[in-house]
Amino acid sequence: MMKYLLLIVLVGVVGWLWRKSRAPEPGVPPAVPPDNGAEDMVKCALCGVNQPVSDSILAGGHYYCCSAHRRAARPEDR
Residue 77 in any domain: the answer is yes
78 pLDDT tier (thresholds 50, 70, 90): very low
pLDDT at residue 20, as a whole number: 84
CA angle 54, 59, 65 (to 5 degrees): 50
User: Count of CB atoms within 10 A of residue 2's CB?
Assistant: 6
pLDDT at residue 66, as a whole number: 94
How many structural domains compose the chain?
Answer: 1
- CA dist 38 and 7 (Å) reads 55
Going by C-alpha positions, the residue among 44, 47, 48 that lies closest to residue 57 is 44
User: Count of CB atoms within 10 A of residue 67's CB?
Assistant: 11
Residue 31 in any domain: the answer is no
Region 50-73: what's the mean pLDDT? 92
| pLDDT tens profile 2-61 | 899 999 999 999 999 998 888 777 776 767 776 777 889 999 999 999 999 999 999 989
Residue 57 in any domain: the answer is yes
Residue 70 in any domain: the answer is yes
